[in-house]
Homo-oligomer: A and B are copies of this chain.
Amino acid sequence: MELKIELTRQPKEKPADENKLSFGHIFTDHMFVMDWDKEHGWHDAKIVPFAPILMSPAATCLHYGQEVFEGMKAYRTESGEIRLFRPQENFRRMNESHDRICIPKFDEAFLLEALKKLIEIDADWVPHTYGTSLYIRPFTIGTEESLGAHSSTKYKFLIIMSPSGAYYEGGLAPVKIYVETKYVRATPGGTGFAKTGGNYAASLKAQDVAAEEGYSQVLWLDGVHRKYVEEVGAMNVFFVLGDEIVTPELDGSILSGITRKSAVEILRSWGYKVSERALDIQELVDAYHAGTLKEAFGTGTAAVISPIGELKYNDLVMEINHNEIGEISQRLYDELTGIQWGKVEDRFNWIVKVK
């Protein structure tokens, strides 16, 4: 497929202070757009100036939730090189999300090349300060003008990009987590493994309740037994139990995180015993009382590693590692961010250079 390019004639001013970048409010000069219909399949791929899109109020994505997204980052090294972290994994997962909610699949290799071209054009938007990055948001939406509750017959695939600040402005810091017992995020047979809008809409209520109680995220339990640990907020979760590191297995209701997968590979390469298995919340409580719950942390693209300092389950407040960053959490954070920003050798070949 050909990739058409239309450059902006009105470049925007870039953010003056990279230390004051927040997340997801500023957008670069260009975006990628591609359309799908039954006659042409995916077609008309182009890079155009970032601009609002004109949408029918009857567009299916506004009613029936056919929307899928991904999140990744471009990092600038000290030498000025721009690089991506395992982007193939994002496009592969995006196609799996597409499949679950009946959006046609796309050519992953073509999209990676289109993304590299888009970043090349907007290269000056990749911030220079260590810890900052260019956040990349590919997403697909159903755009047929129809109120029939069926799969859309038209789609748009877009990539927009946003320079983003360092997640931890004052360095890595532990968070307080609330174990959610009322609301459910996902269930086997549902859409939990897909990055689709409905999963996020479903999670907002619990997040609001947790925030009111002073907790920054919720720990989700499974929807069937209401006892197996699933995710923490929008991150995967790991627990150090004695000399075993446990993360919930991918059972269909958990997102297959790329940071999760990378963490498992790094930890195993260091000789740790990592188990992907069912983890009963009662096992965590027992380990806490026995003194073997040593560390806990979330993994995700935004925070990379998010150490958990406190876990509240019903009336029990469990302080973990004296509410300090654990040794494994810190080492993993340094290794992953080191690979991403080019300070540590890329021994797994995870980096894709933009140019």
User: Distance in Å from the Cβ of A208 to the closest Cβ of chain B?
Assistant: 6
CB of A51 to closest CB in B, whole Å? 8
Task: Contact check, A162 vs B147: say whether CB atoms are below 8 A apart.
Answer: yes
Per-residue interface assignment for chain A, residues 186 to 216, with 1 indicating a CB less than 8 Å from any chain B CB and 0 otherwise: 1111110000111111101101100000000
Question: Any chain B CB within 8 A of the CB of A89?
Answer: no
Check if B149 sits within 8 Å of A223, measured CB to CB.
no
Q: Does A291 contact B (CB under 8 A)?
A: no
Count the copies: 2
Given known contacts A139-B63, A147-B162, A148-B23, is B198 in contact with A201 (CB within 8 Å)?
A: yes
Q: Is B204 a contact of A66 with CB atoms below 8 Å?
A: yes
Please give, as numbers and ranges, the residues of chain B lying within 8 Å of A224 by CB-CB distance.
187, 223-224
Chain A residues at the B interface, C-beta cutoff of 8 Å:
23-25, 27, 31, 50, 52-58, 61-67, 69, 100-102, 135, 137, 139, 141, 145-151, 158, 160, 162, 182-191, 196-202, 204-205, 207-208, 223-224, 226, 234
Cβ-defined contact, A67 with B62, below 8 A: yes
Closest to A221 in B: B189
Contact call B147/A223, Cβ cutoff below 8 A = no
Quick check: A54 and B57 within 8 Å, CB to CB? no
Does the CB pair A63–B69 fall under 8 Å? yes
